[in-house]
Amino acid sequence: MSHQFDPTVLREYDIRGIIGETLGADDARAIGRGFGSMLGEAGGSRVAVGYDGRVSSPMLEHALIEGLTASGMDVVRVGMGPTPMLYYAEASADDVDGGIQITGSHNPANYNGFKMVFQGRPFFGADILELGRRGAAGEWADGTGSVETRDVMDDYIAKIVTALDGIDAGTLASMRVGWDAGNGAAGPALEKLVAHLPGEHHLLYTEVDGNFPNHHPDPTVEANLEDLRTLVADKSLDFGVAFDGDGDRIGAVDGEGRVIWGDQLLMIYAEDLLRNRADRFAGATIIADVKASRALFDQVAAFGGKPLMWKTGHSLIKSKMKETSSPLAGEMSGHVFFADDYYGFDDALYAGVRLIAASARLGKSVTQLRGSMPAMINTPEMRFQVDESRKFAAIEEIAARIAASDAVADTTDGVRVTNDDGWWLLRASNTQDVLVARAESESEEGLARLVAQIDEQLSLSGLERGESVGH
């Protein structure tokens, strides 16, 4: 029996759809059959399965497990929790060959999807296309797998806490931190985590609710950090940390309520790594995506590291880390990846604890670290609709025009042009029919000139920015 997926469900880096419209139990079952068949052919036999707190997640988990076992896979159910807990279950167990987390990530409540790991590596791109091809052809293995349940949360929390090993206990005891779980899947894990942390901790919205009644679970949108800002101000806390719906993306504010964006967090982690642990990581490659500030790349070099600009997308970043043996990487979207004393995956709970560790080791408050960063003026990430058939073609046209000019450009992912005013970026989204633009300068006048250059290039390709659309 074949299963033709809705084409909007199969994306470059994961599988995501709207429940009852483009994603349902039959899709989950077919994904299990396809993934299990591919893993079996590669010599694997056991898959860990977890899910987030969305209302539809238990239904999808049931169907996914049916598909996996029907392909001959044994299944380890790790239950409801953050996506990095599933990654931990896959990475830390010798008898587990792959993992699938059912999650809608930071998307609205009616979305859901799947993030996958295949024998320790990200499952994306051509892998997902092959999953779709097998689904259409009904090209699946047959078998009868078993199902067991494992409680991995306590071990997962214990591993996170090791980030504070060797740090002065008195310094840690003075830390005062706010946390906002956003009613996402990280809530119960966060409650257990802070019980093991020194210092004073104040928590918001740890009760899992797939309807997200308090605010949308995307910590990269400043409006979603208002409750955390209020908590930090009311309790006079050192800083605050927020999570997305499945706990793999971090947002943060300092003690003055200023947002610490993804590239700024990476700047703090890089300074801690390269200055305080130079015996192991001197000259290490630190990776950031093409949307990151020039200040980050300059600071990494100043700290003695090798900055590397790479393509946006958590699976692409993870793959590049393995290729370059990078101990640290991050994206503007709040994904931060640690491979120094951790597993190389993106874990916002671990990133929150590493922020405590960095502040303690560097001997500066998070507010001081944020305040000492170079003052850059940025546009927000501007996303605007284009026809799917035009988005990559338009970027190619712009790249060709820039190449024929005297402009200095990086085409790692889209087109990033650097000049005396700063830099601007245009790239095609990997997951939506949108173009993404961003610009950065040291002055408002310079930023205006950069944005005008973006508009000029779009106009030459018959496009205009229009109103920015959501993720």
Q: Which of 105, 333, 359, 461 is an active site residue?
A: 105
206 and 191 Cβ atoms separated by less than 8 Å? yes
Catalytic-residue membership of 105: yes
How many angstroms separate the first and last alpha carbons of the chain?
Answer: 34
426 and 454 Cβ atoms separated by less than 8 Å? yes
- Active-site positions? 105
